[in-house]
Amino acid sequence: MFTSLSVVCILTLLQLSTTCISSHTQLQGTLHRRNYFYIGEQYVNTPGTNNGSEIAFGQIYVEHLVPATVTQSLPVLMIHGHGMTGTNFLNTPDGRLGWADYFMNQGFEIYIVDQPSRGRSAWQMGVDGDQSDFDATYISSHFTAVEKFNLWPQAALHTQWPGNGTAGDPIFDNFYASTMPSLVSDKESSIKVKKAIGKLLDDIGPVILLTHSQSGQYGWILGDFRPSLIKTIIALEPIGPPFINAVFPPLTPARPFGLTEIPVTYSPPVSSSCDLKPEIVPALTNASLGTTCFRQAAPARQLVNLKEIPTLVVTSESSYHAIYDSCTVEYLAQAGVPVTHVELADVGIKGNAHMMFMEKNGLEIAEKVVLEWIQNTVNK
């Protein structure tokens, strides 16, 4: 009896592991060619460098994925957020297809970067600024297991992360292990992104630009810098709201140029950020939620270089961004940017948090929101 039970258990285990293994090996993908290159490097002599020689800094790693069948005229350039790298868009931490594959399958060429000083883009000691990490609890409480921490009211609605979203769960562990030290200063990051990705755009543009979180502000900076090379900006939960941090104390001033740390072109021009004259939007401000929403005092200066770039902001149901993304959208609209806000719950897509594109229904978001937007705007 005992023996046959053990045999049953072992057989079941074997079947289980066979299922697990085959579900990975049967992963379907899109036939494509991969190339990578670096761009944006600058040589500099440092105290540790041999005389007459130099090291390079500021360059970014760019992965270029070309599907066997390209049917779309514009490539998609994907920029990840803080603590992340380009792996965000390859496959998901539980081994499902990611957005890169989805869009290649739709006939798009893809470019994926690692931000300057991050991942495969070198961080150079003595040249690049200080770095910091997201710890595992931060990732669980803000991104993957927000319903267990309830740091904001909508967090309770979160259902879409695969696995329990905390350390010890193999899917979480795989995701957490992919996170990387990031430059502490968003100003430094912005300057370096503008230089390196600006150069990339000059080589590969025009593009469809997809940003997430921290890279949301790079979307506005790059759109301002190279307006003719960005045909649309799709901003997944862009960093915000204007002028101040929100939800998580300390609610310190940030983004002195409204949505960016570094100057962008306003008309009339701003000589300092004070010219923007922030005023509170009472309807979108809620002290108990830890958010103060600012816009410009009328008449609002216009973000003139973004006026011709159709922009989509996507917000999930249960992310902390659900509290303040409408304030960011209001700011863009007031400054003359043609912006559309899709809140996923309004189109029947429920239970997502900040890492929506790698959650269980990530491909549904790609198809019903992002692809739909591209077809209705740039492909129309």
Does residue number 53 form part of the binding site for ligand NAG (CB under 6 A)?
no
Tokens of 214: 């921290």
Chain residue at closest Cβ approach to ligand NAG = 168
Q: Which residues contact 307 (CB under 8 A, 6 or more apart)?
A: 336, 337, 338
Does residue number 272 form part of the binding site for ligand NAG (CB under 6 A)?
no
Mark whether 213 is an active-site residue: yes
**Binder of ligand NAG out of 3, 53, 168, 274 (CB under 6 A):** 168
CA angle 206, 208, 209 (to 5 degrees): 110
CA distance 271 to 74: 36
Q: Pick the stretch among 107-115, 161-169, 179-187, 227-235 that binds ligand NAG (CB under 6 A).
A: 161-169
Q: Which DSSP symbol is given to 380?
A: -
Q: How far is the CB of 59 from ligand NAG (least distance, A)?
A: 23
Tokens 């770039």 correspond to 309
CA distance 233 to 202: 17
Residue window 8-47: x/- pattern of binding to ligand NAG, with contact defined by CB under 6 A: ----------------------------------------
**Binder of ligand NAG out of 55, 247, 289, 333 (CB under 6 A):** 289
Q: Which DSSP symbol is given to 141?
A: I
Does residue number 153 form part of the binding site for ligand NAG (CB under 6 A)?
yes
CA distance 268 to 270: 7
SS3 label, residue 357: helix
**CB of 107 or CB of 290, closer to ligand NAG:** 290
**Binder of ligand NAG out of 169, 224, 261, 325 (CB under 6 A):** 169
Q: Specify the pairing of strand 207-212 against strand 76-79.
A: parallel
Q: How far is the CB of 287 from ligand NAG (least distance, A)?
A: 8
What is the gyration radius of the CA atoms in the chain, in angstroms? 22
**Binder of ligand NAG out of 50, 53, 71, 252 (CB under 6 A):** 50
Kindly list the catalytic residues: 213
Which residues here bind ligand NAG, judged by CB under 6 A?
A: 50-51, 153, 164, 166, 168-169, 286, 288-289
